[in-house]
Amino acid sequence: MAIASKVNECIERASWIRKMFEEGAALREQYGEDQVFDFTLGNPTVEPPEELQTELKRIADNPVPGMHRYMNNAGYDETRAAVAEAISENCGQLVTGAHVVMTCGAGAALNVVLKTLLNPGDEVIILTPYFVEYLFYIDNQGGIPVTVATFDDFQPDLEAIEAAITARTRAIIINSPNNPTGVIYPEATLTALGELLQRKQQELGSEITVISDEPYAKISYGETVPCIFDSVENSIIVTSHSKDLALPGERIGYLAANPAMPEVQLFMQGAIFCNRVLGFVNAPALMQRLVTGLQRCSVDSEIYRHKRDLLYNKLTELGFEAVKPGGGFYLFPKSPLADEMEFIRLAQKYRILLVPGSGFGAPGYFRIAYCVDDAMIERSLPLWEKLAQEVGLKAAEN
């Protein structure tokens, strides 16, 4: 059966995902589940907080008539108000439910925002390394992705961003804490970005919106995750509860527009319309009710800090180079071999499954998702030692 040529091209570009899955399945069949060390997927093994389980049981035991019916495409008023109140507590201005649309996760929120903003051929800046789906989401809505490299510590290079801005630039997507690096962008950087965009908008007579993708914002290790609304007037938050409440399979999240954004009411009308016509219709009713009272709740970040430290301390001790993550649950070390695919294949010899940095627009690196059981990380450490020794890392040779 023939499929659209563009879809076929996208499948080929994302073929590394399929290959990693197939190779992992073959290794499990050969060696057994507990002898394969799969660090490829950001699919948390941590269970949701106890408060969530309690609330879920309460809702199930006390069903409200009509609780599974359609609601406003933007979501339940009480859920939107609860989200807005929690955002307002972390920002220097008042956000209301009228600035929020509940969505089917952050992926849906990104597609809704991009469809609302983009005309065909508009450009969207993304920073490398980036979450791979950004390319496809931008293309979905007729946009053109423009990649801009970050510094060696994965912090934004504002001069490079400024050089990439053209009259067609409509948006820039930032992701902090970042997937795949775990870095957090400080408030001073975001404020400087806001000033840069103000200047470029006046110069070009255009509007440039910062879309802040924040599913890891509540998983940080002591660093503050700044509110983008305090730094950039023309800004939108998109996020999900996949990570902070460990609900990736439930697909519940939201978008929130900065109240100071020009013509914010018009944007909200467009976003609500796009939420419907993209086929999402509305976020899941039961999940909306569930998360309404859990906006200040999250999994314990210390659980992930422990996992990070197990891997980061061991790998850097062995001689791997890596920026220490400030949040999220990813580590993005530099490949000790010039060709990171050669290193990825060599790691499979020790039954360690990793994701190549080229999949995130950053060849020469590899991603580790450490949202796995502690026991698996600990079992993998002797094999990391053997792998480090084989690639000639000095610490492993001593």
Question: To the nearest whole percent, how much of the chain has pLDDT over 70?
Answer: 97
What confidence tier does 396 reach under pLDDT thresholds 50, 70, 90? low
- Residue 368 forms beta bridges with which residues? 331
Residues 34 and 149 in one domain: no
Whole-number pLDDT of residue 18: 65
Q: How confident is the model at residue 398 (pLDDT cuts 50, 70, 90)?
A: low
328 and 270 in a common domain: no
Bridge partners of 331?
368
- Statement to judge: residues 257 and 173 lie in one domain: yes
Measured at the alpha carbon of residue 368, what is the angle toward residues 324 and 322, in degrees to the nearest 5?
30
DSSP codes, 157-187: -HHHHHHH--TTEEEEEEESS-TTT-----H
On whether both 88 and 169 belong to a single domain, the answer is yes
The closest alpha carbon to 396, from 347, 383, 306, belongs to: 383
Alpha carbon 192 to its chain centroid, in Å, reads: 22
- 102 and 238 part of one domain: yes
Question: What's the pTM?
Answer: 0.95
Which range of residues forms the domain containing residue 311? 5-48+299-397
Residue ending a domain, among 292, 325, 359, is: 292
| 100-150 pLDDT tens trace | 999 999 999 999 999 999 999 999 999 999 999 999 999 999 999 999 999
Q: Which two tokens stand for residue 246?
A: 């460990």
Q: Are residue 140 and residue 255 in the same domain, yes or no?
A: yes
Residues 240-288 have pLDDT tens digits of: 999 999 999 999 999 999 999 999 999 999 999 999 999 999 999 999 9
Q: Which residues contact 365 (CB under 8 A, 6 or more apart)?
A: 129, 180, 332, 333, 334, 335, 340, 357
One domain, residues 136 and 271:
yes
Report the pLDDT value the prediction gives residue 80, as an integer from 0 to 100: 98
Helix residue spans in 319-362 (DSSP H): 340-349
Distance from C-alpha of 169 to C-alpha of 125, rounded to nearest angstrom: 7
Rg, the chain, Cα only: 21
Mark whether 232 and 371 lie in a shared domain: no
How far apart are alpha carbons 149 and 350 in whole angstroms?
A: 32
**Any bridge partners for residue 41, and if so which?**
none
Q: How many CA atoms lie within 13 A of 297 on its CB side?
A: 19
Asked if the model's pLDDT at residue 7 lies above 80, the reply is yes
The widest CA-to-CA distance across the chain, in whole angstroms, is 68
Sheet holding 355-356, edge to edge: 330-331, 366-369, 355-356
Looking at the structure, tell me whether residues 23 and 146 fall in a common domain: no
Q: Are residues 316 and 239 in the same domain?
A: no
Contact call for residues 208 and 233 (beta carbons, < 8 A): no
pLDDT digits (tens, 9 = 90+) for 182-215: 999 999 999 999 999 999 999 999 999 999 999 9
How far, in Å, CA of 114 to CA of 244, rounded? Answer: 24
Same domain, 354 and 385: yes
How many Å apart are CA 181 and CA 328, to the nearest integer? 9
- The CATH number covering residue 37 comes to 3.90.1150.10
> Tokens representing 218?
């509540």
Q: How far apart are CA 156 and CA 147, in angstroms?
A: 12
Helix axes 5-13 and 15-31, enclosed angle (nearest 10): 50
Domain stop point among 274, 292, 310: 292
- Overall average pLDDT of the 354-380 stretch: 96
280: left (phi over 0), alpha (psi -120 to 50) or beta: alpha
Domain stop point among 236, 263, 292: 292
Q: CB–CB of 172/231 below 8 Å?
A: no
- Do 247 and 319 reside in the same domain of the chain? no
Q: Number of structural domains, the chain?
A: 2
Sorted by sequence, the CB contacts under 8 Å of residue 257 that are 6+ apart come out as 99, 100, 236, 264, 267, 268, 271
Q: What does each C-alpha distance from 359 to 308, 315, 327 come to in angstroms?
A: 22, 22, 21
User: CATH number, domain at 185?
Assistant: 3.40.640.10
